[in-house]
């Protein structure tokens, strides 16, 4: 009998949420067969069976949050005596670490809480003794602490969606990616001091250049959108204005400026907003960025992004321009210093300088909104950065510099 403990399926993961069981009690399974989908702060992964056998017990329900190291299912492999699973690597993320972390402290005068809840409680100055735990056996989760800090409460998870009727509203369980996004947004808004600066950019020439690049990329099977141009301009700008590129190490009380640009690209997926990372953007060409972006976006939407591809951003970009909206105030992807919002292109009359004088013609404009953590950077830093983006993107040939 194998007792399978929830493994650490991401760097430093303290807990995971059981999103969906893929098997039932009594099912015969094969080694490496996917048993359960687990959501962490970083990604959703499928946890595989450690051996051939029969599922005898599923110890937690869908929607439950479980500390790393807790037994989540038992598997009869015909070996007789009970044994602990070796917690093999999840099949969907072969490079993920599998070390087992400590369980929450037992109650001997101490509050039962997962490590991430204790850390957030320290950051938000919340007394854990006053927080009601919504986890199994009353364990306090990070969401409980954040709810207590805002005066709210975390509802117990529901395992079914109530069908709508003429007299009844639809109820959807608040869990999985949506809850993780909510937790991240609350933490960012309560920690970073946001301010946003908006710049209007005449992208008429960029539209023309991108059209030519699109044809060249198509010959190599690469889809070239506007994003590689924006990513390259951002990377050049961050190398010039490094105070917006990095994060705050709160424990060491140091601002970390890494000297390389790793861009988190907010991606709309069927499961919610995910932010995979493309690293060392400053050293890559436009076609390489386009190819990497296309591959990463496709795998992210399909749920095949690896945990290591969701870590290490130094700056983020969110682009809803293809959907709509001309201005927004994006929320910083904590712990980054800043984030850039990219908005839709609009056509309208503009004044253009020509050798014959000023003329009015139809031009194409795009707004960029940059939100910055005012604790770590000043308004002048953000203003210089977006002014540089305008200069580069209005004359895209300057990207070659």
Each domain of the chain, given as residue ranges in start order, spans: 2-95, 178-400
Q: In sequence order, which residues have a C-beta less than 8 Å from that of residue 171 and are 6 or more positions away?
A: 158, 161, 162
CA angle 48, 279, 7 (to 5 degrees): 20
Q: How far is CA 139 from CA 70, 128, 152, in A?
A: 12, 11, 17
Q: CB of 289 within 8 A of CB of 228?
A: yes
Whether the ω angle into residue 335 lies within 30 degrees of 0, i.e. cis, is yes
pLDDT at 256: 94
pLDDT at 94: 33
**Which residues are identified as catalytic?**
374
Predicted structure pTM score: 0.66
pLDDT at 156: 44
Q: CB of 50 within 8 A of CB of 86?
A: yes
End-to-end CA distance of the chain: 63
Q: CB of 102 within 8 A of CB of 69?
A: yes
Instruction: State the Cα–Cα distance between residues 50 and 34, nearest whole angstrom.
Output: 10
Instruction: State the Cα–Cα distance between residues 42 and 248, nearest whole angstrom.
Output: 19
Short-list 326, 323, 360, CA closest to 341: 326
Look at residue 304 and give its three-state secondary structure: coil
pLDDT at 79: 65
- Please, which residues bridge with residue 341 across strands? 318, 369
User: Which residues, given as ranges, of the chain have pLDDT below 70?
Assistant: 9-13, 41-43, 79-111, 114-116, 119, 135-137, 152-167, 175-176
Look at residue 355 and give its three-state secondary structure: coil
- How many CB atoms lie under 10 A from the CB of residue 344? 15
Instruction: State the Cα–Cα distance between residues 150 and 179, nearest whole angstrom.
Output: 16
User: For domain 2-95, which architecture applies?
Assistant: Beta Barrel (2.40)
Tell whether the torsion through CA atoms of 174, 334, 345 and 284 is positive or negative: negative
Give one DSSP letter per residue of 38-98, joined into a string.
EE-SS-EEEEEPSSSEEEEEE-S-TT-EEETT-EEEEEE-S-SS-EE---PPPTT-TT---
Q: CB of 112 within 8 A of CB of 138?
A: yes
Q: What is the percentage of the chain residues whose pLDDT exceeds 90?
A: 50
User: For domain 178-400, which architecture applies?
Assistant: 2-Layer Sandwich (3.30)
List, in sequence order, every beta strand (DSSP E) within 296-384.
Answer: 315-319, 338-354, 357-373
Instruction: State the Cα–Cα distance between residues 213 and 286, nearest whole angstrom.
Output: 9
């Amino acid at each position: 009998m194998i007792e399978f403990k929830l493994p650490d399926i991401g760097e430093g993961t303290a807990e995971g949420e059981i999103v969906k069981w893929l098997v039932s009690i009594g099912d015969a399974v094969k080694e490496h067969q996917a048993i359960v989908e687990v959501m962490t702060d970083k990604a959703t992964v499928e946890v595989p069976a450690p051996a051939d056998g029969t599922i005898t017990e599923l110890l937690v329900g869908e929607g439950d949050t479980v500390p790393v190291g807790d037994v989540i299912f038992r598997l009869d492999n015909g070996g007789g005596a009970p044994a602990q699973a070796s917690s093999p690597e999840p099949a969907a993320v072969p490079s993920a670490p599998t070390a087992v972390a400590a369980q929450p402290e037992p109650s001997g005068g101490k509050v039962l809480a997962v490590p991430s809840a204790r850390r957030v409680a320290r950051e938000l100055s919340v007394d854990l003794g006053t927080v009601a735990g919504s986890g199994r056996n009353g364990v306090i989760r990070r969401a409980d602490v954040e709810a207590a800090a805002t005066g709210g409460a975390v509802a117990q998870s529901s395992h079914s969606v109530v069908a709508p009727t003429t007299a009844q509203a639809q109820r959807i369980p608040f869990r999985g990616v949506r809850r993780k996004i909510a937790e991240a947004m609350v933490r960012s808004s309560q920690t970073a001091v946001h301010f946003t600066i908006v710049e209007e950019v005449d992208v008429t020439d960029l539209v023309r250049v991108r059209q030519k690049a699109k044809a060249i990329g198509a010959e190599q099977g690469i889809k070239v959108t506007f994003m590689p141009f924006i990513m390259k301009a951002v990377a050049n700008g961050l190398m010039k204005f490094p105070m917006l590129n990095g994060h705050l190490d709160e424990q060491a009380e140091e601002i970390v400026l890494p000297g390389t640009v790793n861009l988190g690209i907010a991606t709309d997926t069927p499961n919610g907003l995910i932010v995979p990372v493309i690293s060392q953007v400053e050293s890559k060409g436009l076609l390489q960025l386009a190819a990497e972006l296309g591959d990463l976006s496709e795998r992210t939407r399909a749920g095949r992004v690896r945990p290591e591809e969701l870590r290490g951003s130094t700056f983020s970009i969110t682009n809803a321009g293809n959907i709509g909206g001309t201005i927004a105030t994006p929320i910083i992807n904590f712990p980054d210093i800043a984030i850039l919002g990219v908005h839709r292109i609009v056509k309208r009359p503009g004044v253009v300088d020509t050798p014959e004088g000023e003329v009015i013609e139809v031009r194409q404009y795009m707004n960029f909104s940059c939100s910055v953590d005012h604790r770590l950077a000043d308004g002048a830093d953000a203003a210089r950065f977006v002014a540089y983006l305008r200069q580069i993107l209005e004359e895209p040939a300057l990207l070659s510099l």
